[in-house]
Amino acid sequence: MSTFAYRNGILHAEDLPLDRLMDQVGTPAFVYSQTALESAYRRFAGALKEAGLNAQVCYAVKANPHLAVIRCFAELGAGADVVSEGELRRALAAGIPGEKIVFAGVGKSDAEMALGLASGILQFNVESREELRRLDSVARNQGKTAPVALRVNPDVDAKTHAKITTGKSENKFGIDFQDVPELLQLADALPGVRIEGLAVHIGSQITQLGPFEAAFQRIADLFTQLRDAGHDLKRLDAGGGLGIAYQGEGLPSVEDYAAVVRRTLGPLGVPLIFEPGRHLVGDAGILLSRVLFVKQGRSRRFVILDAAMNDLLRPALYDAWHEILPLREARPDTEQQACDVVGPVCESSDVFASGRVLPELGPGDGLAICAAGAYGATMSSTYNSRLPAPEVMVSGGSYSIIRTRPGHADLMAMEQLPEWS
């Protein structure tokens, strides 16, 4: 049974009726299910283990960096994939030990490299010759040798949205295949770095196994070739990217994904790292919102919510489709109407759904915008001087506010007028 489901006509998060929660915490608000987080992690890690793989799951913190979310995975044995000082500090604060942390990202500052070294992280995923040289010098300044995996760009089309594809040669990510031997040679001459593995990540919200299979096979061949040439490669980082079914579409299961990994990367016989983000958190969260007005335009009917693109940017940025469920289940005979579900922000792109068929709604009615656990709160802003939505964790019939809604005074307190005014 889904974690967000109707019971007695009311949408629940686990055992908690969301209409009651809405009255208590206000809207908009992000609501996460701890059970859904735990079961997504267990199923992902379990499928890899079942496939006989030696795998470390390093949760991609960018998908949802809330400390409680990271902590939940830390307790289940997860490591972390971080891309900034902030994410590294969060992973450590949530209890993930340095030796399970991978520092990825195409542009790391000296300070970030230094903090990674001081934290004893597992590896830096290096994406360029320039970064390798810089890391060497930062590490030597600390009298250390930085463990490195070279992130290889396999030039494989992930067949996902253009804005979230990373593994094509025209993308800014990774090192070209043909440059890898030269970088390994360069690393031999740099005492501050030690290449311990390769890494690959081709994109996000990948809904077919073909692109994974192609990328993994290419990287496995390269790995073997380099090892045969005498390079001591110890690990392979297979990245993240496995999608979720935003629209109820049939997707490959984690078990199918694990079978592809086993077939392509298994024969290397080395420990593997995985960096799933969305797959672990996406379906575990919703954005709770209330209808402000229903406005009948000349040709369209607009349902205006109190949530907006500043809370959940994905529809505006990627034309992403998110299921929208009324908190009160519609009776089967209820008339349904096509409407545009929009937010109050002064932008024409502040649209959650266009021409969506929904039961009749009126002011005050609650709605859940589904699959908002990944790349939701973390991509939010205060545009239009709107307050950040609070975040709530549900477990069974209980809930806890894990991030409060700040007040306007809190946000203004971070600003000063110039001293000459």
**Least Å distance between CB 274 and ligand LLP?**
9
* Closest-CA residue to 62 (of 239, 250, 298, 292): 239
Query: Whose Cβ is closer to ligand LLP: residue 275's or residue 283's?
Result: 275
CA–CA dist 10, 6 (Å, integer): 5
Quickly tell me which residue has 């629209």 as its tokens. Answer: 247
Stretch that binds ligand LLP, among 33-41, 66-74, 141-149, 272-280 (CB under 6 A): 272-280
Stretch that binds ligand LLP, among 179-187, 225-233, 277-285, 324-332 (CB under 6 A): 277-285
Query: Is 346 in the active site?
Result: yes
> For ligand LLP, how many residues bind (rule: CB under 6 A)?
21
Using CB under 6 A as the binding rule, whether residue 66 contacts ligand LLP is answered as no
Contact between 148 and 123 under an 8 Å Cβ cutoff? The reply is: yes
Span 69-128, contacts to ligand LLP by CB under 6 A: 81, 104
DSSP state of 247: T
CA–CA dist 104, 327 (Å, integer): 39
Answer for which of 279, 290, 322, 386 binds ligand LLP (CB under 6 A) is 279
Contact between 123 and 102 under an 8 Å Cβ cutoff? The reply is: yes
**Least Å distance between CB 127 and ligand LLP?**
9
In order, the DSSP letters of 19-81 are: HHHHHHH-SSEEEEEHHHHHHHHHHHHHHHHHTT--EEEEEEGGG---HHHHHHHHHTT-EEE
Using CB under 6 A as the binding rule, whether residue 278 contacts ligand LLP is answered as yes
CA–chain centroid gap for 300, Å, is 34
Using CB under 6 A as the binding rule, whether residue 352 contacts ligand LLP is answered as no
Taking CB under 6 A as the rule, which mask of x and - marks residues 356-385 in contact with ligand LLP?
Answer: -------------------x----------
Contact between 74 and 96 under an 8 Å Cβ cutoff? The reply is: yes
Using CB under 6 A as the binding rule, whether residue 276 contacts ligand LLP is answered as yes
Query: Whose Cβ is closer to ligand LLP: residue 11's or residue 265's?
Result: 265
* Closest-CA residue to 11 (of 35, 34, 33, 38): 33
**Least Å distance between CB 125 and ligand LLP?**
7
Using CB under 6 A as the binding rule, whether residue 60 contacts ligand LLP is answered as yes
Stretch that binds ligand LLP, among 56-64, 209-217, 262-270, 398-406 (CB under 6 A): 56-64
Using CB under 6 A as the binding rule, whether residue 350 contacts ligand LLP is answered as no
Annotated catalytic residue within 58, 72, 339, 346: 346
Backbone Cα Rg of the chain: 23
Helix (H) or strand (E) holding 199: strand 193-199
Using CB under 6 A as the binding rule, whether residue 63 contacts ligand LLP is answered as yes
Assign 129 to helix, strand or coil: helix
CA–CA dist 4, 368 (Å, integer): 9
Answer for which of 14, 87, 275, 283 binds ligand LLP (CB under 6 A) is 275
Burial class (CB in 10 A: 0-12, 13-18, 19+), 368: buried
**Least Å distance between CB 152 and ligand LLP?**
12
Span 298-327, contacts to ligand LLP by CB under 6 A: 314, 318
In order, the DSSP letters of 324-365 are: EEESBPPPTT--EEEEEEE-SSSSTT-EEEEEEEEE---TT-
**Least Å distance between CB 24 and ligand LLP?**
29
Q: Which residues are catalytic?
A: 346
Residues that bind ligand LLP (CB under 6 A): 60, 62-63, 81, 104, 164, 166, 201, 204-205, 239-241, 275-279, 314, 318, 375
